[in-house]
Amino acid sequence: MSASKNRSTLDEVAARYPDVPRLIVIKTDVQRRGVFYTTAALSLLDETRHQTTGTHIFGARDGVIALRPESLLLRDGTSIITTPTPPEENPYIVDVVDGSPWLFDNGLPLETVEYWPAPDFYARTSSSGVPIKTSSAPAPSGLTSSRTVTAPSGTITKGAPSAISLRS
C-alpha cells in the first residue's frame, strides 16, 4: 500500500479485482476514500446550475461546512456520492483541466467528471417560504426514468421522463 494512511491506490485496488470494470472500481473507491475539491474545482460550482450541499446529514470527513458539489457524474452517466475529505487522508482530488472538473489519484488524471445538475424546482420555495433545495435530496435529473418530488407543502411535482445510455 503506497498511499498515505495505509490506503491503497486505485491501481492497487483494480489489480485485486481484474474482472470488475474500472469505472465501477473508481466509483466504489471514491466512496471509500472520499474527495478533496481544489479551489479551482470549487470555482466551477454554480448554485444556479448544480446541486450543492453545505452540510452532510452525518457530517463531512473534513469537518468543514461549506458549499460544495452534491456529487459527481462519471462519463458513463453513473453518479458518485462523495464525501469531502481532508488531503492528509489521501482522498481523490477533483481539480480542473482545460476548464472542466477532473478526478485525480496521486497526481494522475483519471476521469473527467461533472457536478450533478440542479433540477428545475430547486429555485422554487414551498408555500411556507422554505427553499425547496434545502428540504429535498433528488437524484441528478438525467438518471431517473421519471422524477416525483414531494414539496414541503405536499404538492407533487412530476418531471419529464428521461433515460441514460451506458457505455463501456
pLDDT tens column, 78-103: 888 888 888 898 899 999 999 999 99
> Is the pTM for the entire model greater than 0.85?
no
Pull the grid cell for residue 26.
Answer: 473508481
Instruction: Say yes or no to pLDDT of 4 above 60.
Output: no
What pLDDT digit, counting tens, does each position of 30-72 carry? 988 989 999 999 999 888 887 777 555 556 666 666 677 878 9
What pLDDT digit, counting tens, does each position of 112-167 carry? 999 988 777 777 788 888 877 666 666 554 443 333 444 444 444 444 333 333 33
Q: How far apart are CA 64 and CA 135, in angstroms?
A: 20
- What integer pLDDT is reported at residue 64 of this predicted model? 64
Cβ pair 33, 7 in contact under 8 A:
yes
